[in-house]
A and B are shown apart, each in its own frame.
Chain A
Amino acid sequence: MRFKDYLKDKMIYISLLLFAVITIEILLIPYDIQIFIKIYVAVAIIVGFLIGFLVEYYSKKNYYETIKSRIKELQEEYLIMEVLPKADFTEANILEEIIRDIGKSMLENVNKYKYLQEDYKDFIELWIHEIKIPIATSKMIVENNKNEITASIDEELDKIDNYTEQALFYARSNTVEKDYIVRKIQLKEIVNASILKNKAQLIQNKISIDIKDLEEIVYTDSKWCIFIINQIIQNSIKYSKRENRQIEIFSEEKKENIILHLKDNGIGIKENELTRVFEKGFTGENGRITGKKSTGIGLYLCKKLCDKLCIGLELNSKKDEGTEVKLIFPNNSFINMK
């Protein structure tokens, strides 16, 4: 708030004041008073008001500026109503009341959606637990009646299972903190589990798996990690080439982190699309190839979950040569020491 702007707001008072001073001066003309006194009256009135204005200006300026700076300091700006400064003018009380009312109504509104979302998430989780039973039963039936046809059905069942899993983790992705437990895990353990999840598809599509090392220990939630690796392997299967299909998986320990490489020799991604692969709903050129059915969800979810789990996620690719995904786990020497 600048003083100039403040004075502009006070334009009516100032005009009235000037009008009053001029009127007084005109009324004083017929009287035989010293010119000094006549001027003094005018100046006194004007100076008096000016001081009044200044006092008011500084108290208001101080008040609003404190609010502004506090908002800046706050991470959650809407919490300002909890830290409003004390004011010595009435308008501030009105403002305070308004902010409080707005805040309250906003909170109610937000809570309503929060509740709706929770409710929806609970439903999805429940639904997914239900759908897993018929999937399990179907897989069991396939196992008891093994032939080429059921093997093909088995492959489709794995896809269904993967899609439901994706839905489950999508629903959970906003509340990672709630169901996640950090454990000491060997990379091999999570990689093998992810490969086994895709066994039917990998064998049917004749994709060879080349695993090296993976002896390193990481500290993370295995369920979430398996899901992430699973998504990456799914992509490698989906976008594989016609022949000599291969996925190479190896690890590398550095001073500050442990890197898990997942490298395929598939159809790759165009260079100008690389920056967008983690965007939600982005399918790119590969996604438009008939029969691939990209959803644009897999990598988006991976990125989101990796961010929450503090795992770095990098993707490099060359068109027609293949794609390499790196999962970068922090090497927590602090935990190691214990």
Chain B
Amino acid sequence: MAKILIVEDDKKLREELKIFLGKHGYEVIALEKFDNTIEDILASKSNLVLLDINLPYMDGEYICKEIRKVSNVPIIIVTSRDNELDELLSINNGADQYITKPYNIQILLAKIERLLQRSNASQVNQDKIDCGEFVLNVSKSLIEKDNSSIELTKNELKILHFLVLNKGKIVSRNEIMDYLWDSESFVDDNTLTVNIKRLRTKLEEVGLKDLIETKRGLGYILK
């Protein structure tokens, strides 16, 4: 499991981030003290660091620079300073990504995944997800069952992927839309309905009937 270290001095935000990233399958640790930050970060042996800029004792940018001298661990700078200059400075100091508060949480997640993939430490985002009755091939955009397979469009893949991630739970239409929008497919209500319908037909074609169940007024559930 990929280990993420949170360096954030706001206690509440730290805790919520821990819960959130924990839910998404990461091992999360957070620094509670900031008097020896650089050593602590290096000692944590984490796969990725979420680093705040405004920290007590030491500036995040300085920390970033010092860490880069000895380690290649991916660093995402998380800050409330919102201008291009700070972003440029951070990247120059060796940060891999820069994200401003309040961040779009899905984007944060996507950036984490991408960075971890690059450093080969991620086990969260697999190319093939075994869903019991079928296998979802994310990299090739295919549903695979036994020897047959069927191709999915970009949106269909995303919807199914989201349902698979939340298997056994009801997901509302708004949540699905939220997820699609975060990956820059700005679908509306009607398009979503059409996509779900097509997805069901495709699932039926490989012999998976009624896999996606509609819960009236609540949303959908993947069984």
Number of interface residues of B (CB under 8 A): 35
B182 in contact with A144 (CB, 8 Å)? no
- Which of A128, A130, A132, A196 contacts B107 (CB under 8 A)? A196
- Which of B10, B84, B175 contacts A137 (CB under 8 A)? B10
B23 in contact with A133 (CB, 8 Å)? no
Contact A141 B101, CB 8 Å, known A211-B186, A223-B82: no
Chain B binding surface, main DSSP class: helix
Contact with B along A220-252 (1 / 0, CB 8 A): 011100000000000000000000000000000
Residues 73 to 101 of chain B near chain A (Cβ within 8 Å): 80-85, 88, 100-101
State whether the Cβ of A195 lies closer than 8 Å to any Cβ in chain B.
yes
State whether the Cβ of B188 lies closer than 8 Å to any Cβ in chain A.
yes
Contact A206 B181, CB 8 Å, known A135-B101, A140-B16: no
Residues 10 to 25 of chain B near chain A (Cβ within 8 Å): 10, 12-13, 16-17, 19-20, 23
Residues of B within 8 A of A168 (CB): 82
Residues 21 to 55 of chain B near chain A (Cβ within 8 Å): 23, 54
- Which of B80, B88, B186 contacts A209 (CB under 8 A)? B186
State whether the Cβ of A18 lies closer than 8 Å to any Cβ in chain B.
no
Q: Which A residue's beta carbon lies closest to that of B105?
A: A143
Which of A41-49, A72-80, A175-183, A275-283 lies at the interface? A175-183
State whether the Cβ of B146 lies closer than 8 Å to any Cβ in chain A.
no
B83 in contact with A157 (CB, 8 Å)? no
State whether the Cβ of A151 lies closer than 8 Å to any Cβ in chain B.
yes
A136 in contact with B84 (CB, 8 Å)? no
- Give the A-B pair count, Cβ closer than 8 A: 93
Residues of A within 8 A of B190 (CB): 208
B174 in contact with A151 (CB, 8 Å)? yes
Residues 161 to 177 of chain A near chain B (Cβ within 8 Å): 161, 168
Interface hub of A207, A208, A211, A221 (most chain B Cβ within 10 A) = A208
- Which of B102, B105, B175, B188 contacts A208 (CB under 8 A)? B188
Residues of B within 8 A of A140 (CB): 13, 16-17, 20, 105
A158 to B81, CA, bound (A): 18
State whether the Cβ of A255 lies closer than 8 Å to any Cβ in chain B.
no
A132 in contact with B80 (CB, 8 Å)? yes
A327 to B171, CA, bound (A): 38
Interface hub of A132, A138, A207 (most chain B Cβ within 10 A) = A132
A144 in contact with B84 (CB, 8 Å)? no
A141 to B10, CA, bound (A): 14
Chain B nearest CB from A38 CB (Å) reads 88
A199 to B19, CA, bound (A): 23
- Which of A136, A179, A222 contacts B102 (CB under 8 A)? A136
A141 in contact with B16 (CB, 8 Å)? yes
Residues of B within 8 A of A138 (CB): 102
A223 to B81, CA, bound (A): 12
B181 in contact with A137 (CB, 8 Å)? no
A93 to B184, CA, bound (A): 71
Residues of A within 8 A of B80 (CB): 128-130, 132-133, 136
A24 to B189, CA, bound (A): 110
State whether the Cβ of B178 lies closer than 8 Å to any Cβ in chain A.
yes
State whether the Cβ of B120 lies closer than 8 Å to any Cβ in chain A.
no
Closest 9 CB pairs of A and B: A208-B188, A140-B16, A136-B102, A132-B80, A209-B186, A136-B101, A181-B84, A129-B80, A137-B13
B residues near A (Cβ < 8 Å) are: 10, 12-13, 16-17, 19-20, 23, 54, 80-85, 88, 100-105, 107, 174-175, 177-178, 181-182, 184, 186, 188-191
Given A146-B175, A203-B178, A208-B190, 20 other A-B residues pairs in contact with their CB atoms under 8 A: A130-B80, A136-B13, A137-B12, A139-B102, A140-B20, A140-B105, A143-B16, A144-B19, A144-B20, A183-B84, A196-B104, A196-B107, A199-B104, A203-B174, A206-B188, A208-B188, A208-B191, A209-B186, A221-B84, A223-B84
A residues near B (Cβ < 8 Å) are: 128-130, 132-133, 135-141, 143-144, 146, 151, 157, 161, 168, 179-181, 183, 192, 195-197, 199-200, 202-204, 206-209, 211, 221-223
